[in-house]
Every structure is written in C-alpha cells, then in structure tokens.
C-alpha cells in the first residue's frame, strides 16, 4: 500500500521533506522564546537592567518572526505536497478506471468509485498534510520542551512527566472509542453517497412513480445514521478538551505551588518558573495534537485501502503482446463458447455456443429477456472475455487483435446507450474524430436521424444535455446508431437499438442498411419479429443456448418459440397488429 501511494507522492518529495524541516525550525523558535522570557524576568526586570530587557526583547522579536516565517513556509510546502498528492491520486485512479473492462466495472459500483475519487481522496489529503506538519513537529516539540524543562528543574519537570503519562492514557482510551465510531461512520457515508447518486441519476423515475416521499425518507434515514454516529464520535473527541484543560490547570497549580516554595528557598528563579509554565502548555498541547494525528491516520487508513484497491486493480482485458492490427473481414465464428460473469457461478450464462456467420450476412437474434442475447454479442467486441472456447472475427481469435482495432471494426450500439453533453456533431464524432460534417450527415441519413435533426432550430449544432435528456428515446437510439455507423465498421451490432423507433422508421433504417452498407455484417437483436424477419438468418436464443438458427420461413415451420412469438405479435393471422407488433 505504501508503495502504491508513494508513487503518487514522489513528484512532491521536496515539498514533503521541506514541510517537517520548517516545522522543526518553528518548534526551535517556540522553545527559545520562553527561555528569553525567563531571562528578561531574571536578568532584566529583577536586576533593573533595561539594556538586557531591550536586547532580549529584540531577540524575541527576531525569533518570533523567524518562527512565523517557518510556520508559513511549512504550511505552504505542506499544502502543496498534500494537494499535489491528492491530484496525482485522482488522476492515477481516473486513468486506471479508463482501462477497466466491463468485468472490472461490475466489481466496483459506480457510487463506490465516485466516493473513492472524492471523499476518500480528501480524507487522505487531509491526513497527509497533518502527518507532514505534525508527525515530526509534535513529538519533537514535546521532547525538546521536556528536555529543556529537566535542565531547568528536574523536580518540576517530573510533574509534567506524570501528567503526560496520565493524559496519554486518557487520550488513548478516547481515541480508541472514537475510532470505533469513525470507522462505522465511513461505512454509513458510503450508503449515503450510494443513495444520493442513485436517486439523483434516476430522479425522473422517482417522479414518474411518485416515490419522492419514500426517497426522502430513505435519504433521511441514511443521513440520520451519519448524524448519530458523527455526534457520538465527536462527543468522544470533544472529551479531549476538558481532560486536557483539567490536566493543564492542575499542572499549572502544582508547578506554581512547588515553584513558589522553591523560589522562596532560592532553588528556582522567577524567570525560570515563567519559562516552565510556558513549556507546560507547550508539552500538553503537543500531546493532544499527537492524539489527533493518531485519530486522523487511523481514520484515513480505510480510505487509503479503498484508494489502493482502485489503483492496483488490473484491467481484466488487456492488449496481447504482438497484436493483430487488421481485421480481414466481418465473418464471426463461435467455437464451443461458454461464458460466466462470475467465475464461481454454477450455471453459465452462455452454454456451449457454436455459430458461424459469414461476412456481410444480416443476422437477427431473438429470445426472451434474460436469454443472454446481450451477453452473446458482447463477446464479439471483447467487452467481456469468454470463459471457455473461442470467438473468431475475420478468422482470428478476438484475443489476438489490438483492442482499439477490434472495437473500431466491431461497432456496437449498446442496449443501455448514452449520449454525452455536447452538440449533436460532437456526439457523432465519438464514432470517428475526423468525420467531416458530410460524413456525419450521411450516417444520420442511414440511421433516419436526419429528419428530426433538420427540424431542430440549430440542426447539427443542437446541444444535447447530459444523458441525452432533451431528445426522445427513439431519437436517441437513432443518434446512437449513426454514431456507431461513423466508425465504418466491418461488423455492426444493434442490441435492441430500434425498440423505441416506430415500425415505419425501423423498416426505413433496415432498407438503408441493406442498400448502403451491404458488405457490413449486421447483427440485430430485437423483440419485434418485424425487425428481423427479412434477415438472412435468425438465431433464437433460449436460456443461454442457441435454440435454432434459420430463415423466417424455416423457423416458422420448425421452431416453437419463434412461432409462438410470431403468433403473439400478429394475432395469429400473419399481419402485424396496429401496434406495429410491439409486445
């Protein structure tokens, strides 16, 4: 863990070293000032030596300024090191998340990744700053003040020693209890973040189902839990202060009492007593500081662990060593393919699939929900890797290709697709950065998106809101198809991508595909028979297996599932009903 984090600190090594150095300088100044104060009282005030008072006073001023400067510089370097560390952490996490495969993303939830990149990084940043500033400063200051006190008067200094030990024990107990609450608190934060993220992202669904009150209550509960634990943890921490005050004032009383006796018999000077009293404050406040550092470090350990998990996560799908850089054609072959999302699950999601698809063929895929249609096509562009068997594209195993090359040639319109905030043109150019406006228009024509884009006041420069919330479901699907077409792929996969498009437009899109991109292999997953009946062949999926493969007519004759779906959608008379055959 230290190695992983150390890599991100390396850039700020200088700042990380300068901070404690300046903090130590500050401590030295802080320790010298009470000594000068004692000298002013003993050698200046008591002997009536004004020159000495001015000299020492001047020196005090110089030390104070140096101390102030050291404090400021320490703060500056500390801030730079810790914020820089946080920046590097975030960037490294973000970069690593980009390499994640779908399987990696399944492992961490989105909310989890967001918490890790925000709250956890901030925790670690604060802890690191505290460590740099206090971890050396506090013990150093404590020891040096203690040593100086022993030099002045061992008898009085032993009072501190007892106080330090007693207070130390009390602080440890407090920290232990507080820690317990703090670690519970962080778990609750996760729940709170998850609930916030989920609800805000799905706010439209919440409204549609009039679930606002329910959601408010749910959030209130999560928020209340954070509040309760927060109060309990802080209650423990706040106990620090009265114990500290009690010890400090007891010490001051004892020191004054013992000191006064010693002054009377001439064992101690007044100035030395004042110096000792300053050190008393110094020592005990540093002890408290140390206990706080301890709390912060332990608190940030959980965050550090969660951050390292993301940083050390290796992408489960990687480029091969000598990747194949060209996809010969759009042929696809599944050879005894078995696939599970979770290695340990008993029943596979895809079970012994064998398929052969020629380049340029149009294939329809039909099957009930959960019959593994999406899982099947996701293997072709290597969004997931097979558990057993091989998937060949253009005659070569997909694992031999360079990932980028493969994914540029196998263009998928995902079932859960999204548009990003930006203009329509910008969104389309996700398919091909260098596409000209003419290319974009052509792709939109093929996907029948041109008709509604032209009607928009700003045409191709219309701004799409986050998640594509200002276009309709069918319009969004058509834009996603156009975006996929711009890649000029050898294989085009549409995963239920025209489900929200009316049947007439759907037919128009299919016609355009057949005429304009005849050499592209097209895999069309659909629930509507009308969307796939003209395909060269249709694959019927059932429970993770291929139930049948054939043309529309063949399947109507021989396949029960297909016939049932057909009859349900046409009312048994061969004509699709006025709903366009929608289920």
x/- map, 433-472, ligand ATP, by CB under 6 A: ----------------------------------------
Contact flag: residue 374 with Mg ion (CB under 5 A) = yes
Binding to ligand ATP by residue 109, rule CB under 6 A? no
Task: Quote the least distance from Cβ 369 to ligand ATP, whole Å.
Answer: 3
**Local structure of 470: helix, strand or coil:** coil
50-99 and 13-39 helices cross at what angle (nearest 10)? 160
Q: Does 415 bind Mg ion (CB under 5 A)?
A: yes
Residues 304-339 as b or e (16 or more Cβ within 10 Å = b): bebbbbbbebeeebeeeeeebeebebbbbbbbebeb
Residue 427 makes contact with ligand ATP by CB under 6 A = no
What is the DSSP code string of 117-168? IIIIHHHHHHHHHHHHHHTTHHHHHHHHHHHHHHHH-HHHHHHHHHHHHHHH
Distance CA 400, CA 326 (A): 10
| 303 vs 371 by CB, closer to ligand ATP | 371
Counting contacts by CB under 6 A, is residue 477 touching ligand ATP? no
Q: Which residues contact 278 (CB under 8 A, 6 or more apart)?
A: 33, 34, 37
Residue 378: CB minimum distance to ligand ATP, A: 8
Q: Which is nearer to Mg ion, 475 or 527 (CB)?
A: 527
The pair phi, psi for residue 210, each rounded to 5°, is 45, 50
| Smallest separation (angstroms) from ligand ATP to the CB of 569 | 15
Closer of 370 and 395 to ligand ATP (Cβ): 370
CA-CA distance, 127 to 136, in Å (whole number)? 14
Binding mask 305-344 for ligand ATP (x = CB under 6 A): ------------------------------------x---
Among 256, 415, 462, 570, binds ligand ATP (CB under 6 A): 415
Dist CA 242 CA 234 (whole Å): 14
- Per CB under 5 A, the segment of 156-164, 215-223, 373-381, 574-582 that binds Mg ion is 373-381
Joined tokens for residue 152: 């002045």
Q: Which of 78, 271, 367, 581 binds ligand ATP (CB under 6 A)?
A: 367
**Residue with the shortest CB distance to ligand ATP:** 374
* Least spacing, CB of residue 367 vs ligand ATP, in Å: 6
Q: Does 349 bind ligand ATP (CB under 6 A)?
A: yes
Report the C-alpha gap between 135 and 127 in whole angstroms. 10
129 contact, one of Mg ion, ligand ATP, none, CB 5-8 Å limit per kind: none
Which strands form 350-357's sheet, in the order they lie side by side? 350-357, 332-339, 388-393, 396-397
Query: Which helix H or strand E contains 392, and what residues bound it?
Result: strand 388-393
Residue 375 as a binder of ligand ATP (CB under 6 A): the answer is: yes
97 contact partners, CB below 8 Å, separation of at least 6: 113, 310
The verdict on 119 binding Mg ion (CB under 5 A) reads no
Is 373 near ligand ATP (CB under 6 A)?
Answer: yes
Q: Which stretch, 207-215, 226-234, 294-302, 373-381, contacts ligand ATP (CB under 6 A)? A: 373-381
User: Binding of Mg ion at residue 417 (CB under 5 A)?
Assistant: no
Interface residues with Mg ion (CB under 5 A) are 374, 415
Interface residues with ligand ATP (CB under 6 A) are 106, 341, 349, 367, 369-375, 415
């Amino acid at each position: 863990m230290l190695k992983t984090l150390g890599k991100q600190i390396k850039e700020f090594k200088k700042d990380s070293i300068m901070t404690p150095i300046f903090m130590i300088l500050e401590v030295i100044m802080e320790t010298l000032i009470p000594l000068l104060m004692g000298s002013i009282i003993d050698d200046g005030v008591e002997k009536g030596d004004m020159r000495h008072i001015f000299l020492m006073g001047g020196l005090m001023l110089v030390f104070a300024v140096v101390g102030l400067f050291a404090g400021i510089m320490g703060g500056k370097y500390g801030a730079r090191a810790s914020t820089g560390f946080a920046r590097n952490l975030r960037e490294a996490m973000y970069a690593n998340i980009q390499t994640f495969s779908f399987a990696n993303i399944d492992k961490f939830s989105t909310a989890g990744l967001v918490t890790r990149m925000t709250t956890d990084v901030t925790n670690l940043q604060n802890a690191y700053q505290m460590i740099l500033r206090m971890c050396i400063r506090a013990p150093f200051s404590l020891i040096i003040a203690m040593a100086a006190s022993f030099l002045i008067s061992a008898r009085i200094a032993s009072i501190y020693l007892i106080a330090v030990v007693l207070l130390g024990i009390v602080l440890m107990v407090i920290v232990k209890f507080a820690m317990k609450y703090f670690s519970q608190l962080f778990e609750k934060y996760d729940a709170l973040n998850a609930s916030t993220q989920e609800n805000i992202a799905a706010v439209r669904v919440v409204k549609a189902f009039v679930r606002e009150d329910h959601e408010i209550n749910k959030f209130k509960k999560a928020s209340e839990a954070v509040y309760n634990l927060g109060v309990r943890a802080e209650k423990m921490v706040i106990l620090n202060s009265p114990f500290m005050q009690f010890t400090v004032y007891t010490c001051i009383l004892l020191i004054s009492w013992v000191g006064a006796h010693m002054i009377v018999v001439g064992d101690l000077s007044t100035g030395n007593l004042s110096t000792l009293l300053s050190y008393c404050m110094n020592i005990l406040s540093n002890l408290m500081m140390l206990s706080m550092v301890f709390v912060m470090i332990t608190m940030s350990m959980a965050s550090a662990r969660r951050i390292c998990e993301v940083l050390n996560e290796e992408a489960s799908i990687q480029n091969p060593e000598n990747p194949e850089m060209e996809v010969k054609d759009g042929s696809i072959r599944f050879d005894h393919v078995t696939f599970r999302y979770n290695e340990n699950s008993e029943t596979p999601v895809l079970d012994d699939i064998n398929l052969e698809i020629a380049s340029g063929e149009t294939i329809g895929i039909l099957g009930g929900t959960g019959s593994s249609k999406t899982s099947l096509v996701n293997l072709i562009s290597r969004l997931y890797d097979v558990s057993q068997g091989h998937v060949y594209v253009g005659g070569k195993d997909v694992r031999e290709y360079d990932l980028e090359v493969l994914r540029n040639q196998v263009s998928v319109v995902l079932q859960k697709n999204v548009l990003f905030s930006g203009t329509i043109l910008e969104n389309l150019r996700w398919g091909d950065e260098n596409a000209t406006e003419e290319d974009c228009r052509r792709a939109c024509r093929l996907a029948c998106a041109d008709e509604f884009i032209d009607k928009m006041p700003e045409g191709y420069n219309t701004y799409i809101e986050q998640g594509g919330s200002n276009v309709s479901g069918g319009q969004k699907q058509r834009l996603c198809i156009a975006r996929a077409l711009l890649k000029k792929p050898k294989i085009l996969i549409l995963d239920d991508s025209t489900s929200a498009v009316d049947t007439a437009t759907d037919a128009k899109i299919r016609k355009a595909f057949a005429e304009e991109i005849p050499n592209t292999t097209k895999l069309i997953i659909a629930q509507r028979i009308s969307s796939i009946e003209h395909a060269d062949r249709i694959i019927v999926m059932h429970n993770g297996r291929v139930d049948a493969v054939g043309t529309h007519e063949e399947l109507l004759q021989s396949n029960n599932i297909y016939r049932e779906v057909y009859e349900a959608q046409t009312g048994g008379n061969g004509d699709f009903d006025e709903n366009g055959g929608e289920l």
